[in-house]
A and B are shown apart, each in its own frame.
Chain A
Amino acid sequence: MSLAEHRPELPEYLPGHLGAVPQPGPAGEIRLRVTPLGFARASQMLHRAGARFVTLLLAETPDRAIVGVFAMRGDLLVLTAPTPPEDTPTYTALGPWWPAARWTEQELADRHGVRPVGLVALPDLTTPDADTLDRSVAGLDVFSLPFGPVRSGVFEAIQFLIETGGEDVTRVRTRPFFKHRGLEQRAVGMTPAEAVHVAERIAGISSVAYALAFSQAVERALGVSVPTRAERWRAVHAELERMANHLDVIAKQAETTALSVGQARFQILKERVMRWRARLTGSRFGRGAVIPGGGRIGDGMSLRDLLTELDDFEGDLASDRRRFLRTASMTDRLIGTGRLPRALVEEYAAVGPVARGSGLSTDARHERPYGEYRRLGLQVVTDRNEDTMSRVLVRFGELSESLRILRQAIAHLDRNGTELATPIPLAAAGCAFGWAEAAQGELVIWVELRDGLISRLHVASPSLRNWALFDHAFPQDVLTDFAFIEHSFGLTPAGADR
């Protein structure tokens, strides 16, 4: 049981001298108030106590405040430093000693006018220009290779400055935000029912996870409980989405070694999942299936059909997986490539299969179970070898786990209730975090509602958080390993840039 449920007394694992005052808030969030001057000190104590950085944001409700979000022992710690409305919000920057906070902190400064004192700003991070390149390199006989934002092949826009002497990769600098569309701002003034369309389109390949985290934030802010049947359907759609994403990553790994049949086999498996989703929801990406208050179901596929398809699919997946893992030309490129020591992963607060491939059991479904996952026992799949192969093995393991969850959720769906959504109260106000485990990792969304309309939306996407770590994923790797390592992260620039 979460310690958060025993409020107002603080969990005993919090540092003794934190100097924070507990505040009321929905279950699963521990809201703590500190002074703006004490914000950095409290964050540092949490860092030393082993908290994981999640995000930083400027909140307007209940009061205007700098908000730091951290995860610790499965709880979400929300550190709030109120700041008077007339002042420029100011606090002491966390980035200089906590690398995980750097990009978020600069976004807060550039996009929201917050002043983190001591911020080490990267030039044009939030307004990247493909033509202005930092040509300084670290070392002799090293050149910098700009890769992107127009990529070879069909990939999303992002730029990497790869420094290499020809073979060894000496340094990589990722430049995100080429795709910044201002979607968080776009949702302001919308009703939750409209804004869920925006949430689905922040990262199109994880539409269900985004709709889910957003909807759960709205439901928690307004105290709406979701029918059990809708929670089960949400788990079905979320696991199908995870399967499509993991199969996509594995197919791309096969493509990178020119293992054409292997690539085709995993593409076929992915396409099958996409077609089930189209039949279940009308959309190949499961759009419209998750809405605030519940969900919707289509009528293109019966549960019996889906179960039959799953049986057939599982056999094919097992034999393709066996062949994949026995193909030495494939596994040789993955084993030992892109090693990410566990300590580094913790320092950069990475999440999802990237973290689980380095032995961490970070998974929002397990740490703070939501919806159907409170009833299903989730087996968190981890691997300790810290390399690209580990991240692929984690994905294979999660494919099996998703199939198990699907069967369990479907078995329960057969026999209860027809109710699918609870109405969202009109003209209501509130604020809360919502979370979901996307295929890329833990996704956290902050929603503020005023008069029934969204007044603030903040997205802590797993892609942005994991990309900060990507720059350090080339300890002993060469230029031709780049694609393997990039695919093993399985991130989406759309989600990172928002």
Chain B
Amino acid sequence: MLAWITRGLAKGRITTAYPREPERPADGFHGPVLVLEASDADRELEWCCPTAAITVDAHRRLSLDHGRCIQCGECVRAAPHRFVFAQRYETADRRREALVVGDTDRHAPSPGRPTLADQERALKRSIHVRHIDTGSDGSEEWEVQALWNPYYDIQRLGFFLTAAPRHADILLATGVVTPAMRSPLERTWAVMPEPKALVAVGTDACSGGLSAGDGETCSGIDAVLPVDVYVPGSPPSPIAILDGLLLAAGLRDERRDR
């Protein structure tokens, strides 16, 4: 056992300073897709997207919905002057409509639900997180688990994993919501005490992604329950999920730079 302790100490500190200091991915990372040029677009651009995330309206204005985007890169390869992978990890937002980028008729921004910190100040440094898989591809679970590894060590920020939904403040939901997982999702959410926040992790959880159905099945978490924070990505990186957790907890200012 002593061997392990010396081993752990000998390797020094590797934990990120995020969010105190920003963390940028290495070159070539496939972050969220940005729209560089939104005007004068052809209708055909919509066809390259397998999840219908790209829309060209009657005025030939182009928009892209991060909530549907699976970062497959088809659009980046088809029209590199219009689309580019952003060199950043963060993707989270509290409002579904804010995930749409490009030239779009912005509705008056809805305020979103109050964050945990707005509702209960005492929650700031001890937040218990529960996870539920409602039909993911399995990669989101790896990225959520990674938050507890020494690189990200989310416990330093006061986030703890709990096994019981009755002790949880935040529910991290991954997956499209298959018919079989709908009732377990509703029951898990119902037994959590107020105040509580629901975070949809991954494009599948935001919209159903590639398996999106027509009705309520496989169409994402918000077809079943109101979502507090959306973290799109296929899958979102650990930093993106951490960013979403901070946003839900009210520990991060909302970005204005979209």
Contact = CB atoms under 8 A, between A and B. Distances in A.
To the question of whether A and B form a pair in one complex, the answer is yes
Interface of A: 127-131, 149-157, 177-183, 186, 190, 194, 197-198, 201-205, 207, 248, 259, 261-262, 264-265, 267-268, 270-271, 274-275, 278-279, 282-285, 287-288, 298-301, 319-320, 323, 326-327, 329, 492-495
B178 A178 contact: yes
Contacts of B18: none
Contacts of A177: 180
Contacts of A298: 28
B205 to A, nearest CB: 12
Given A204-B136, A271-B151, A261 B5 contact: yes
Given A197-B72, A323-B3, A157 B135 contact: yes
Contacts of A495: 138
B91 interface: no
B176 A181 contact: yes
Contacts of A153: 131, 161, 163
B21 to A, nearest CB: 18
Majority SS at the chain A contact face: loop
B29 A300 contact: yes
Contacts of A268: 11, 14, 149-151
Interface of B: 1, 3-5, 7-8, 11, 14, 25-30, 50, 70-74, 85, 131-146, 149-151, 161, 163, 165, 172, 175-176, 178-181, 183-184, 188, 209-211, 218, 234-235, 237
A326 B14 contact: no
Contacts of B3: 323, 326
A278 B239 CA distance: 14
A203 B50 contact: no
Given A154-B141, A156-B133, A279 B161 contact: no
Given A178-B135, A202-B137, 19 more contacts: A127-B179, A154-B172, A157-B132, A179-B135, A180-B135, A204-B136, A248-B142, A259-B4, A264-B150, A265-B7, A267-B146, A268-B151, A278-B25, A282-B29, A283-B71, A284-B235, A287-B234, A288-B72, A299-B27
10 contacts: A150-B184, A154-B141, A178-B178, A182-B218, A197-B50, A201-B234, A261-B5, A278-B29, A287-B234, A288-B73
A204 B72 contact: no
A326 B3 CA distance: 10
A323 B234 CA distance: 36
Contacts of A259: 4
What are the 7 tightest A-B residue pairs by CB atom distance, in nearest-first order?
Answer: A204-B139, A204-B137, A300-B28, A152-B163, A282-B30, A267-B149, A494-B138
Contact of A197 (B70, B150, B218): B70
Contacts of B133: 149-151, 155-157, 179, 493
A346 B1 CA distance: 39
A362 B99 CA distance: 46
Given A197-B50, A285-B139, A186 B70 contact: no
A274 B142 CA distance: 10
A301 B142 CA distance: 23
B126 to A, nearest CB: 19
A152 B133 CA distance: 11
Nearest to A329: B1
A131 B187 CA distance: 11
Contacts of B150: 264, 267-268
A111 B175 CA distance: 22
A310 B180 CA distance: 43
Nearest to B27: A300
Contacts of A182: 211, 218
Contact of B26 (A179, A204, A279, A323): A279
Contacts of B176: 181
Given A248-B142, A495-B138, A261 B28 contact: no
A206 B136 CA distance: 13
Of B85, B145, B179, B218, chain A has the most CB atoms within 10 Å of the CB of B145
B30 A179 contact: no
A389 B98 CA distance: 50
A271 B28 CA distance: 18
Nearest to A288: B73
A268 B10 CA distance: 14
